[in-house]
Copies of this chain bind each other. A is one copy, B any other.
Amino acid sequence: MIVDVSKKILIVGLGLLGGSYARVLKRFGFHISAITLEQDAIDYALREGMIDEGSTGLDEKMIGEADLVIFALYPHVFVEWIERNQTLFKSGALLTDVTGVKRSIVYKIQEMLRSDVEFVAAHPMAGREVSGVENSTDRMFIGANYIVTPTERNTPEAVETCLELGKLLGFANVTTLSPEEHDEMIGFLSQLTHCIAVTLMTCNDKEHMEKFTGDSFRDLTRIARINDLMWSELFLANKDVLLDQMNLFLKQFNSLKTMLENEDIDGMRAMMRHSTERRALFDKK
């Protein structure tokens, strides 16, 4: 066990994800501090016993004492934070994050970072349609996937610590991918699905459809309730990959459309059988 509970953990950005990290890790007995913009979030977290201390400013003591710093910020805010404040870290501190894109973040931060501090990037594949620390929960990661994206600059020990952190948090699958593999995977599994949901939700403004809907439309549009500021930033940060995935989808959708136009029932049935078979792989174990 590399992560021992005498370690001090600092969470920067106490929202839905940062708050859920705090809830789970506090239960193990770690000393948890938090830096976030809103005093309300800190007050809430203190009342809930999720953190030991919190600050809305750059509390130098809090930053300087942290062994592990978890960043749960918007991508560009995260990069700027490191640029401005990295002198405050304790020597030997380990940094990790929850950012949903990796190529555009990881290399930039590792490039500029002090050599006595290490950053291992990670992506917890979990979320809700609501945000804010008051919606955080210590059960959010159960059954979910956690991806660590190490680079050549990382030490095996730091990577191991991050993998352990994922297990402590309760993730069902803890794996590693390169930043490139991660962004391709996420471009398909997460970003393309959000593009589809938003498109479906906005392509037909007919009124009163909610009275006639079944569960399938609800399922396909659950994630159409979306944080526009964060997701537009994530889309742009993975633009090349996401465009490729959108084109893959378009090609297949157009081929289904052509089959329908031509009343090619065998072709449609073959695609549906392929779909049914492949979906079985994605059942939660």
Q: Which residues of A contact B (CB under 8 A)?
A: 125-127, 144-145, 147, 173, 175, 177, 184-186, 188-190, 192-206, 209-229, 231-233, 235-236, 239, 242-243, 245-246, 248-254, 256-257, 260-261, 263, 265, 268-276, 278-282, 284
Contact = CB atoms under 8 A, between A and B. Distances in A.
Contacts of A214: 125-127, 144-145, 189-190
Given A220-B197, A229-B269, A253-B195, A278 B202 contact: yes
Given A193-B217, A213-B282, A246-B253, 12 more contacts: A185-B206, A188-B206, A196-B200, A197-B275, A198-B256, A199-B256, A200-B249, A202-B271, A210-B282, A231-B272, A235-B260, A235-B268
Given A239-B260, A268-B232, A276-B226, A199 B145 contact: no
B202 A275 contact: yes
A195 B233 CA distance: 29
Most chain B beta-carbon neighbours within 10 Å: one of A198, A217, A233? A198
